[in-house]
Structure 1
Amino acid sequence: MRPLRYAINVTLDGCVHHEAGVAPDDELMRFWTDQMHNSDAELYGRVTFEMMREAWKRPDDGVWPDRMDAGEQEFADTLDRARKYVVSGTLESVDWNAELVRGDLGDAVRRLKEQPGKGLSVGGLVLSTALTDLGLIDEYIFVVHPIVAGHGPYLLDGLRERVRLEPVSRREFGSGAVAQVYRRADTALLGS
């Protein structure tokens, strides 16, 4: 079985809104690009999929905007090529190398995890909370930024019950951000 990893940027006060942090520097862009290389596919809910698609899908003319530096282009290239699964009850179809996930969420994600490979990565808010409640996330990667946002949305807000995690690793970045990796305390990480 391949592991499911939840990876997200978060402020010191738990805010996970994509505009609450600072724009990633080259070091953080490399980190996030490497995270995608460690997964076979990205798993998104509709809102996160549409946000990521708008920001990172290769333009129709095939040329990345001048505003993107080399690190952002590498990240965008990697994400653009990545296989994606989208959990949505409202979308009729998806593009951008994506496939809709239908039916019972737990059953569908268990089937994805049962496939061989390096792992799956989930991002966003609502889907990650639902998958945590179902006990399906094996590893959590939180990049904590030295910012207090003073507002939400908040990391895993609304969980039905507490989840015990064990620290796996920690990495400090020049920007002051810290990547903290945890796994569920009640399960061994699959595929490692």
Structure 2
Amino acid sequence: MRKLIYGMNLSLDGYIAAPGDDIDWSVPSDELFQFWSGRLLATDLTLYGGKLWRTMSSYWPTGDQQPDATPAEIEFARRWRDMAKVVFSSTVDTVDWNTRLVTGDAVAEITRLKAEDGGPMDIGGATLAGAAMRAGLIDEYVLATAPVLVGGGTPFFTALDNWVNLNLVETRTLPDGVVLTRYETRR
């Protein structure tokens, strides 16, 4: 059975985007970018909601060809293009770069994917992750909490019907004040 991991940058008050989908406050330092790149290398399959897919696919397919691309960005772009991805959306029409589109029941498909043999799966996008969270499918939460309060926007966590008990498995503070925490779901 695969492990499902939900991780993103978030503000101290719990948002992955400020009002108006503003993510300018969450530009990662080199060290944080290396952390996320390492996670990408350890991931077998990434699941995206439509909005996050549009953001990622607007840059990373050619991120390694940008004149100012760092070696880390070049490696990330190449890995991102090559890795298997699934986009869950009713508003995205086409996908590319080793990606397949699912327009039906996301929770049923994520449940099916989890039951397969294979390495870890990452899930991104607040709406998609929220559905998986409410269904009890998330095995690990990875939070890169930035020292900023944005006052509103898109929350990292969704409203839940039941408590989810977690075990802290890692805490690390980066030089720019971002605190990385990893929690595993207690089953």
TM-score of the superposition, structure 2-length normalised? 0.89
Matches within 5 A, 1:139-154: 139-154=140-155
2:154 is paired with a residue whose SS is coil
Q: How many positions carry a matched residue from both structures?
A: 183
Q: How far has the Cα of 1:81 moved from its partner?
A: 1.6
Q: Residue 42 of structure 1 contacts residue 85 of structure 1 at CA under 8 Å; is this kept in 2?
A: yes
State whether structure 2 residue 174 is matched by structure 1 residue 170: no
Q: Residue 10 of structure 2 contacts residue 26 of structure 2 at CA under 8 Å; is this kept in 1?
A: no
Per the alignment, residue 52 of structure 1 pairs with 56
Q: Residue 10 of structure 1 contacts residue 21 of structure 1 at CA under 8 Å; is this kept in 2?
A: no
RMSD: 1.8
State whether structure 2 residue 81 is matched by structure 1 residue 80: yes
Q: How far has the Cα of 1:38 moved from its partner?
A: 1.4
Q: Residue 32 of structure 1 contacts residue 75 of structure 1 at CA under 8 Å; is this kept in 2?
A: no
Q: How far has the Cα of 1:106 moved from its partner?
A: 2.1
Matches within 5 A, 1:1-192: 1-17=1-17, 19-58=23-62, 64-185=65-186, 187=187
Distance 1:87 1:56 in 2: 18
Say if 1:101 and 1:22 are closer, same or farther in 2 by CA, change over 3 A: closer
Q: How far has the Cα of 1:98 moved from its partner?
A: 0.4
| 2:7 partner amino acid | A
**CA offsets 1:143-191 (integer angstroms, 9 cap, x no match):** 1111122222222233344322221111221211111001112x2xxxx
1:94 is paired with a residue whose SS is coil
| 2:76 partner amino acid | F
Q: How far has the Cα of 1:2 moved from its partner?
A: 0.8
Distance 2:83 2:98 in 1: 7
Bigger helix fraction: 2
Flag structure 1 segments of 5+ consecutive residues without an equivalent.
188-192
Flag structure 2 segments of 5+ consecutive residues without an equivalent.
none
Distance 2:172 2:80 in 1: 23
Identity among equivalent positions (%) equals 33
